[in-house]
Amino acid sequence: MNPNFDLVIFDCDGVLVDSEVISCRAHAEILNRHGYPITSEQVFHRFLGRSARQANLEVEAELGRALPDDFHLQLRDELHRTFEADLEPIPHIYSALDAITQPVCVASSGSHQRMRISLGRTRLYDRFAPNIFSASQVSNGKPAPDLFLFAAEQMNVAPERCVVIEDSVPGVTGGRAAGMTVLGFHGGSHCQPGYAEMLRAAGAIATFDDMRQLPDLIARIGRNAD
């Protein structure tokens, strides 16, 4: 396909699986249960694309106390329940992956356990394993570049030869900070009017809302870089 990119790095939530609306709802439910009033829309705007560790630190600072030791287990169980009931893959992701000839991997703010559930539920886990990387493996999650640089290092590809597929401002920011080309996807059910412009403002070189566009978009961006 495109000689200028040797690796395609996918975010998970909102790019491979249409999970953002579901996960924000579950996150808000658990936080409210522990005395932190927040709506799913507020979770979306504050925490989308960021690691659970970062979100929890902010919540605990505002609460003035620690969340329960088993908070992540409660959130995992709520996510598992809602994913089993409602989670779907992003439309046309299977055919897009079939048409991409470069190696692919996942770099997500979510935990490995969460990705095992979400990617397993949507029959995508085996398409990427073992090349699935989590913010839990680096010091700083998105919007820091650490996770993208870690993924590139693990895949033995130079950052400038990586193209990142992201749906969040922290993700786009992190990919650009890593010296990578970033494409912004705004085809998830959580994406509202103006979302594409927001991703471009964060540094996405191009945006798209249909996964069937992705293989040709990668090739075109590569040709333009010649």
pTM of the predicted model as reported, rounded to 2 decimal places: 0.84
Beta partners for residue 133, in sequence order: 107
Q: What is the pLDDT of residue 74?
A: 92
Q: How many CA atoms lie within 13 A of 216 on its CB side?
A: 5
Q: What is the pLDDT of residue 2?
A: 38
For residue 40, which amino acid is it?
S
What is d(CA 36, CA 16) in angstroms, rounded to the nearest whole number?
30
Does residue 70 have an active-site annotation?
Answer: no
Q: What is the pLDDT of residue 49?
A: 73
Backbone angles phi and psi of 11, in degrees to 5: -70, 165
Provide the Cα torsion 184, 107, 181, 3; round to 10°: -120
Q: What is the pLDDT of residue 51?
A: 77
Q: What is the pLDDT of residue 225?
A: 58
Give the domain 20-86 fold. DNA polymerase; domain 1 (1.10.150)
Task: Out of 6, 11, 18, 86, pick the active-site residue.
Answer: 11
- As averages over each run of 10 residues, the pLDDT of the chain (226 residues) reads 78 94 90 95 85 88 94 88 90 97 95 92 96 96 97 98 96 98 95 94 98 96 70
Q: Please state the domain extents for the chain.
A: 7-19+87-224, 20-86
Q: What is the pLDDT of residue 3?
A: 47
Domain at 7-19+87-224, CATH from 1.10.10.10, 3.30.2130.30, 3.40.50.1000, 3.40.50.1370:
3.40.50.1000
